[in-house]
Structure 1
Amino acid sequence: MIGDQLLPLPRRVRPSAAETAERYVHRLAEANHLRPSYLRQLLTTPPNSLGSIQLDKLAAVAGRDPANLVRALPELAPRTRTPGRTRENEARKTLNEQRKRERFAAFRYDARLGMSIRALATKHHVSRRTVGKALQSEIPPPRKKIERQPTALLGLREHIDAMLEADPAITAATIWQRLHDEHDATPSYPAVRTYITTRRTTRPPITSTHR
């Protein structure tokens, strides 16, 4: 690397079939005796951050044509946004909320006519719990957000927990670097950060046993 210019690494590495960009960068670093986290951070904008791998930078250090890299690693292809898609999603969300309110209003109207909760559930093809919620409030409750553990961290959570136990003040960036450099892993930084945040907020605080 000269200034901001990235030069091809001495040893070229060919992308493998069904390989992710993260794993390719990892192999490229190891082939050139570099720390995987170091090379990975050079390929972001701005440099040394923890953002997405930039196609042009990877092509430069790999010594490969960007178009060929995209064919081998489709995830690196520039993303295009469909005009108006955001507005369509917002309009659909607003329409769904309006329909829920109308259904709740229908439940409450029939209830005032003397229908039981069981009869209401049968008539409107919903559960009695849903009818009960409608009778308690005119505003439908928001949908519960389902928390899913990132599959990219399978087999790595124990290592992360061990690092947190050894040093409760350790940063997510440091854990991300150690997973890349010491555990031959290629998780994304957002996945690591999300797990650590959840770990620290939903479980009892981890205190180090070392003095």
Structure 2
Amino acid sequence: MTPPQPTIAKLPVNVRPQLGETIDSYIRRLARANHLKPSYLHCFLCGPPFWQGKPDIERLAAVSGRSAGVLQNALSDATSPRDRVKPNPRALRHHQHQALNRHGADLAVLIQHDALDASMPIRAISEEWEVPKWLVRRVLTPSIFPELSTRRRRNALDTETKKLVTDMITKGMGATEIWTELIDTHSVSTSLALLQIQIRDTTRQHTDPQTS
């Protein structure tokens, strides 16, 4: 007989998820509002053995006091692509809306990027790109809008962060230490695998005479 799972307590401070932000962004905000280190809460929500993996949506729902359905509807990467609801014809028409295709640019992708870290409310995004608020909400609702390239790049490191990681590698820090430092101190979330690849490549550059 399988023993009952322990009840996960709800955190004292309630934080509302912002439409279109990532799970990692929401966890950072939730942790800091409750005076926790984001890395600690992230690992708790993943559980063993993949402490730095993708947090479990049911555990996140329990600690946040929000239902899993609400989180899946709000957070851009709460549902994996293979479980994503296939966009219906109406959603595809939204994607072709003239307000999203001005000057040859796909504004839907730019809108999604603006929302990833919850730094811009819907009103600000609407004003920035001159797109109606109702259409911004459609773009940021992952279950009804076609998946774009935004979330495929969410773990990529920009040039500044790569330099920061390289400096940590030079100091002898391992992948887990770097992952923790990034999420707690620099509000940067990435995968452990990506850090391990950068450690490998950086080490090769310092040991292989042909690359120096």
Residue 45 (structure 1) shift: 3.6
AA aligned to 1:72 is A
AA aligned to 1:26 is R
* Separation (CA, whole Å) in 1 of partners of 2:72 and 2:170: 40
* Separation (CA, whole Å) in 2 of partners of 1:151 and 1:57: 22
Residue 66 (structure 1) shift: 0.6
* Separation (CA, whole Å) in 2 of partners of 1:151 and 1:63: 27
Q: 1:14 aligns with which of 13, 16, 21?
A: 16
What residue ranges of structure 1 are gaps of 5+ in the alignment? 82-148, 207-211
* Separation (CA, whole Å) in 2 of partners of 1:150 and 1:14: 21
User: Who wins on radius of gyration, i.e. which is larger?
Assistant: 1
AA aligned to 1:164 is I
Q: 2:197 aligns with which of 175, 194, 198?
A: 194
AA aligned to 2:189 is T
Residue 157 (structure 1) shift: 1.1
Please tell me the root mean square deviation across aligned C-alpha atoms, in Å: 2.5
* C-alpha spacing 1:185/1:150, structure 2 compared with 1 (3 Å): closer
* Separation (CA, whole Å) in 2 of partners of 1:150 and 1:58: 20
Which residue does 1:52 correspond to in 2? 54
Aligned length: 134
Aligned ranges for residues 5-84 of structure 1 at < 5 Å? 5-46=7-48, 49-77=51-79, 80=82
Which residue does 1:160 correspond to in 2? 165
AA aligned to 1:180 is I
Larger relative CO (CA 8 A, sep 6+): 1 or 2? 2
Residue 11 (structure 1) shift: 0.5
* Separation (CA, whole Å) in 2 of partners of 1:165 and 1:11: 39
Q: 1:178 aligns with which of 172, 176, 181?
A: 181
Cα pair 1:42 1:48 within 8 Å, conserved:
no
AA aligned to 1:173 is T
**TM-score w.r.t. structure 1 length?**
0.57
